[in-house]
Chain A
């Protein structure tokens, strides 16, 4: 039996007056004694562990986590909502600070995922429902209809060239070019399987066409395919849902919606990528001409306390902007590049050196100051009004292309997912970690782990290290055959329970279930009553149910009603 009277941090260290501090220490001691007298032995329970992990999100974070888990010999499933894994990294051209090609380092990992027999990919799928608890989650996965049989499709791409619906915006290239209604997002997609977009396909919409079925040599096209639901058991779940750039419609001053030549940094990645809409030549989206003056605007929506954007720093923008500026100056030395920044933040190995190179070696004009207005001109130029805070002067730059470093935000699917997982989130929809310093890859909900930007903005190296860390945590969990559970759990006094479900409704873990039980009543009759029972393996011991229970049938081990009241009494005693 143990109780602690906190007389150091909460007494002697704060109260200067010895007499009052001593008096308080006595009271705190008295309260602890009152509580310990009512202590009951706590016994931890045990629960089995299902030796399979689920990774939600198939970007670099999810891929790395899955591969590491598989490496340790455990089965792991990746659920990816897009038709292919790869995530944002697949869209990126080059990576900082080494400037190697993103696809070159990512695609081998994607292929490894598809070939590792321990890894199973549910692409074009979403998590629908999560039940259970650490070591024993039951997850319902919705496999959306592709209208293409994954097992038959060879990925030859014949259908994607024959489809008559040509003007579908290509989301992989962020709408900078078009694709067909049946498509493979990019050449190295995994799984390399075509997908029919039901929003554009004439056959699915109107029942007319059927061209793709005719050209498909493998006979893989299936217009009657339905969404499929799969239920699977997992011991651990890793969240790797990633991010998106924010929408810029609230930032009218930057003219994003006014001119095609005001682009986001991610769009610039595609414009510079060899597999992108321009085949790797940097051209203005409006007229296809070479831009000669390019203005980069940093912190668009980041560190924004006005309410339009995000209050946090998106962390990666300083570095990728330096990368973009450097690449442009390298490839097109006749181009003037201006970067407007609030601060340049370059913490990371070789990061500051990288930024210094951009400034010193590549002659990128870094100007401390914020852009006030971006206005397209009739002559196709874009007028950028800005202030140079160091020189204290107003600048007017006539640019050909403006690149906005839009803030990043967690993917919209994260919030409903957090609810399903009962994992907590902060006000910005980033998942919270169990401890900001000491348990950074675990969610406070046992058995839920965090990988990548879903936990907070980070770059690729950091994402990969966190992904591996999460994998290590998962492996540590899965190697156990049984888990000891928290002994401070709620329990129900069935004789007093009304079966009213009040506790069930407040339990964040679904730990409370009801059953009809036979009771021998004092008048020697037998009665069937609906009573609650707590699954000690699931209960985390928050105590919400104990307060919700109208009859006081629920109590919490280690923090029982009588114990807390004894403390109250002891404290208030004269």
Chain B
């Protein structure tokens, strides 16, 4: 897949269809992938990767990238195409300046997921179909891909691309996901239990804003939380009320605009 993507990107750079490629770049370890912009074939060869750890949704970067001259090639996983469309309806970027290639996704995993399984000292990772072998300084460990999927991928709603200029690989179907199972469970609780549940969850929040900044629906020029005139500007949550408040307001702002891309749960 990575090879096909690089080859196609090179072609498009070559024939002048696009000027830049928005993709992923390898990091220090096997799993710390960073979104990156590539401008030449050499850069693509040197740095472009696509593997099970390329979870980042690139659609939000289009806001910034389309402000520049020329056209940008972007690779979109099925869930990313939903955010792509949402950004488009909100006029957040110029469609003319984007060439979108849909790429298949079998669910993503992350370093965090492996670490949650107790893996530490990772020196390398091999993928082979559904099995993942992690090499660590403490010895090798094998996993089934399905056991270390990111939380959002467990409730994947669709493997179908809803926006693209071309596809690499097969398009999938909209899935019958279980994304509201947890909601149903919560709804069955009493208000007291629910409140306790949310307090415990929200007290973990360190108000680092990662969820907001990674969210493709949160693309305001100036967020109300950063605007001293809004009356609710906060940097770090001062108390439990503000922890609640941030999450309530953010949830309200993205209501109806959220595309279930799950970037927030990843962040």
Contact = CB atoms under 8 A, between A and B. Distances in A.
B221 A501 contact: no
Given A496-B220, A514-B91, A553-B221, 4 more contacts: A550-B253, A551-B227, A552-B224, A561-B230
Interface in A485-518: 495-502, 514
B230 A500 contact: no
B90 A498 contact: yes
Given A527-B67, A561-B230, A562-B229, A551 B224 contact: yes
Interface in A519-542: 527, 529-530
Contacts of A497: 221
A275 interface: no
Most-contacted residue by chain A among B220, B221, B222, B253 (CB, 10 A): B221
Chain A to chain B: the 6 pairs with minimum beta-carbon distance, closest first: A500-B90, A551-B220, A496-B222, A552-B224, A550-B253, A499-B91
B17 interface: no
Contacts of A496: 220-222, 227
A565 B221 contact: no
A530 B91 contact: yes
A564 to B, nearest CB: 10
A561 B223 CA distance: 15
A495 B89 contact: no
Given A496-B222, A527-B67, A551-B221, A501 B227 contact: no
Contacts, number: 46
A495 B221 contact: yes
A550 B225 CA distance: 11
Contacts of A565: 231
16 contacts: A495-B221, A496-B222, A497-B221, A498-B219, A498-B221, A501-B90, A527-B67, A529-B221, A550-B224, A551-B221, A551-B222, A552-B227, A553-B221, A553-B222, A561-B230, A562-B231
Contacts of B222: 495-496, 551, 553
Contacts of A527: 67
Interface of B: 67, 89-92, 219-224, 227, 229-231, 253
A565 B232 CA distance: 10
A501 B220 contact: no
Contacts of B229: 552, 562
Range, interface on chain A: 10 to 19
A553 B253 CA distance: 14
B67 A550 contact: no
A547 B220 CA distance: 15
A501 B91 contact: yes
Contact of A561 (B67, B91, B231, B253): B231
Contacts of B231: 561-562, 565
Nearest to B67: A527
A285 B59 CA distance: 72
Contacts of A552: 224, 227, 229-230
A530 B230 CA distance: 22
B144 to A, nearest CB: 40
Contacts of A498: 90, 92, 219-221
A500 B87 CA distance: 8
B137 to A, nearest CB: 44
Contacts of B90: 498-502
Contacts of B224: 550-552
A398 to B, nearest CB: 64
A500 B253 contact: no
A500 B92 CA distance: 7
Contacts of B67: 527
Nearest to A505: B89
A533 to B, nearest CB: 14
Most-contacted residue by chain B among A500, A529, A530 (CB, 10 A): A500
A152 to B, nearest CB: 50
A496 B231 CA distance: 15
B223 A551 contact: yes
Contacts of B91: 499-501, 514, 530
Contacts of B219: 498
Nearest to A525: B67
B236 to A, nearest CB: 20
A496 B226 CA distance: 11
Contacts of A501: 89-91
A121 to B, nearest CB: 43
A529 to B, nearest CB: 8
A400 to B, nearest CB: 63
